[in-house]
Chain A
């Protein structure tokens, strides 16, 4: 049976952490059983290419776990590797039981596999470094908010985009705008991922449009591919995904509207009304903030809402109602 990958990675990590001098690839190959078993000791030059590929992948995996692996060039041109203790050590951190409980709650909220794994891995590292068990872990009644937060990230584009944001790598993907029949290829320098109301958005620099753009992850079709090279546009200090999305969602008022609303109906409209006046005939008159998408929302209330002004909003609502009435 082939030696498990975890055992191979663990041995490579311990070798690199344990050594005081850089170890060459040949030394590592001949001293880790999993490599010897698969590729021989390398004395006769066999399997070199497949060993090299596995070795590079293994090093990358360990780096993902946080290991700082240095590549040192020797006098004779041979390359050696080591993970210095001082650059790999966690600085001292002391967390009390309350703080440990808070982090324990936070670590549970990812539903995305990679981040869920990373969160428990981080807790384990902190635990190994002395973080106490939280009182809640002992199933004793803890004086904490009875809250279970969850962050969904079902979109296939989430993980590649998170890595691209992290590593500042340009990406290419097909994107279907909300009202478009067909997706279009977009070349983007990804800046930040933001989750708002349970949906994920990406903000970045759109290379073809030469402008900042916000993308909704659920509208990305197909694979996200990385591109070589660096960002060409400067990354702003403050990125405003949420403000942009709020404008889309019509939460930024651009004026006010006057409507008539049947008594007892339309609670959300009343909740945001600037003024409410009872008309006494089974109807109230409301002044509400007007913004993008208000027409579509008002139509939802059917015959319980009548738009008075502005005229443009009134016309939009009538047009929508006509389309529905026609069927």
Chain B
């Protein structure tokens, strides 16, 4: 397998992990919205309500930065990072 193929394979697994986490916070937890809302969560808000106001939104911000850092590491590993002067 060429360098490029290996790079793409790693990139693809990172995508799947990212999308799996995304799925949990955007879709997964809302399958159980009614049940989860009975429980008190962060700062005293009901759990589901808190996720829709802050939790999921914040998770997405963190997820994107995490993804960007991981992808940069993958690019470096295979020598595909961009030079600053490009």
A pairs with B: no
List chain A positions with a Cβ less than 8 A from chain B. none
Q: Enumerate chain B interface residues (CB-CB to A < 8 A).
A: none
